[in-house]
Amino acid sequence: MFETISVKPISGAIGAEIHDIDLAGDISDQTVEEIARAQRDHLVVFFRDQDITPTQHLAIAKRFGDILEYPLVKGLEDYPQIAPVMKLEHETTNFGGIWHSDTAYLAEPPKAAMLVARELPPYGGDTLFSNMYMAHDTLSEGMKNMLSGLRAVNSSAKADASATREDRLKTAAKLDTDDVISAIHPVVRTHPETGKKLLYVNIGHTSHFENMSEKESAPLLGYLFAHQTKPEFTCRFSWRPGSIAFWDNRACHHNPVNDYHGFKRVMHRITLAGERPV
């Protein structure tokens, strides 16, 4: 099935490790296509024992699409397209530490993200991923029919996610803290590459259904948020120096586990531009 890489699933629902590749070396077009195909099959792919510079990080990410700068926090000084994702020793809240799909409040949310481990705690700091195809497909037919006509409001100001950004916004905010970015997307979207339907709400950014109040929306959204993270839909990735995760931001959610207080964790993320959900 794959000629230039070796792909090993890490769970029955989502996630696979890709072996026999050096991302710092010359990567053929065939290898890029096979990595993209592995990601379509498993939604998130992981690489071990990679040693890449920020320049190489940008170069390999560009092979998979156009790069989108993170809208809320400044990137690295010399590499503004690379967003630092960090928690410092004295902090108790980790950046993005909640189940979410990145920047779903944009009119055209990212299609993918590539995260490189730069500095890790001695233990903890794993990342969970969940399969949104499975989240949709395991709903009852009645629920699928009801959701198929709904749209939801996604906001950068939703408290669940905004609280995780407070430490970074103190020193590296791009926008005024009162600025809010929001977008309305279908609750069930169709993946533009696979044609499969997936559940497209997330607890980090989805505030309410279109033309409904937050209070009216809360019971159903609460059910969907809990359903999306059932253990049988997920995998857990333990980071090591040289680890890289590359995920489909449309079809999976992720959640960095906040279990390493007193230690520093630094990751570098590049996001790839996507399309308007339909």
pLDDT digits (tens, 9 = 90+) for 75-104: 999 999 999 999 999 998 888 789 999 999
Average of pLDDT values for 256-271? 96
Q: Give DSSP secondary structure letters for 137-181.
A: HTS-HHHHHHHTT-EEEEETT-HHHHGGGHHHHHHHBSS-TT---
Query: What is the number of structural domains in the chain?
Result: 1
Average of pLDDT values for 234-259? 97
Q: What is the CATH number of the domain that holds 131?
A: 3.60.130.10
Question: How does strand 252-256 pair with strand 112-119?
Answer: unpaired
CA angle 64, 67, 69 (to 5 degrees): 150
Per-residue pLDDT, 72: 80
Per-residue pLDDT, 168: 45
Domain carrying residue 215: 6-272
pLDDT digits (tens, 9 = 90+) for 16-33: 999 999 999 999 999 999
Domain assignment present for 103:
yes
Beta strands in the chain (DSSP E): 6-9, 16-19, 44-47, 67-68, 83-87, 112-119, 127-131, 151-155, 182-186, 188-190, 197-199, 206-209, 234-237, 244-248, 252-256, 265-272
Domain assignment present for 26:
yes
Q: Which residues are catalytic?
A: 100, 102, 254, 269
What is the amino acid identity at position 4?
T
Domain assignment present for 59:
yes
pLDDT digits (tens, 9 = 90+) for 200-213: 999 999 999 999 99
Domain assignment present for 34:
yes
pLDDT digits (tens, 9 = 90+) for 32-55: 999 999 999 999 999 999 999 999
| pTM of the shown model | 0.93
Give yes or no for residue 273 having a pLDDT over 90: yes
Between residues 74 and 270, the one the model is more confident about: 270
Domain assignment present for 159:
yes
Domain assignment present for 277:
no
Give yes or no for residue 176 having a pLDDT over 90: no
Give yes or no for residue 164 having a pLDDT over 70: no
Instruction: Compute the distance between CA of residue 226 and CA of residue 71 in angstroms, rounded to an integer.
Output: 28
Phi, psi of 141 (to 5 degrees): -60, -35
The enclosing H or E element of 226 equals: helix 214-228
Domain assignment present for 1:
no
Q: How far from chain centre, in Å, is Cα 75?
A: 17
Domain assignment present for 278:
no
